Amino acid sequence: MKGMMIVNFKTYEEGTGKRGIELASVIEEVSKGGGTEIAIAVQPTDIRTLAENVHIPIFSQHVDPITYGKHTGWILPESVKEAGAKGTLLNHSERRISFEIIKRSIERCREIGLQTVVCADTPETVKKIARLEPDLIAIEPPELIGGEVPVSKAKPELIIRSVEEARPFGIPVLCGAGIKTGEDVRKAKELGVRGIIVASGVVKSENPKEAIKNLLEGFG
Catalytic position from the list 62, 82, 92, 133 = 92
Neighbours of 67 (CB within 10 A): 11
User: Rounded mean pLDDT of 15-28?
Assistant: 97
Residue 101, CB half-sphere, CA atoms under 13 Å: how many?
Answer: 11
Tell me the pLDDT tens digit for each residue of 29-88.
Answer: 998 877 899 999 999 999 999 999 999 999 999 999 999 999 999 999 999 999 999 999
**Does the active-site annotation cover 92?**
yes
Tell me the pLDDT tens digit for each residue of 184-201.
Answer: 899 989 999 999 999 999
Please tell me which residue, 116 or 144, carries the higher pLDDT value. Answer: 116
Domain holding 9, by residue range, is 3-217
Number of structural domains in the chain: 1
User: What are the phi and psi torsion angles at 89 (to 5°)?
Assistant: -80, 155
Tell me the pLDDT tens digit for each residue of 72-115.
Answer: 999 999 999 999 999 999 999 999 999 999 999 999 999 999 99
In Å, how far are 44, 107, 171, 204, 211 from 10, measured between CA atoms? 11, 24, 24, 11, 17
| pLDDT for the residue 32 | 87
- How far apart are the C-alpha atoms of 124 and 162, rounded to whole Å? 8
In Å, how far are 23, 91, 167 from 42, measured between CA atoms? 11, 15, 28
**Does the active-site annotation cover 148?**
no
| pLDDT for the residue 1 | 57
Catalytic position from the list 29, 37, 140, 183 = 140
Tell me the pLDDT tens digit for each residue of 120-157.
Answer: 999 999 999 999 999 999 998 877 566 666 677 777 89
Work out the burial of residue 203: count CB atoms within 10 Å of its CB; fewer than 13 is exposed, 13-18 middle, 19 or more buried.
buried
CATH code of the domain containing 19:
3.20.20.70
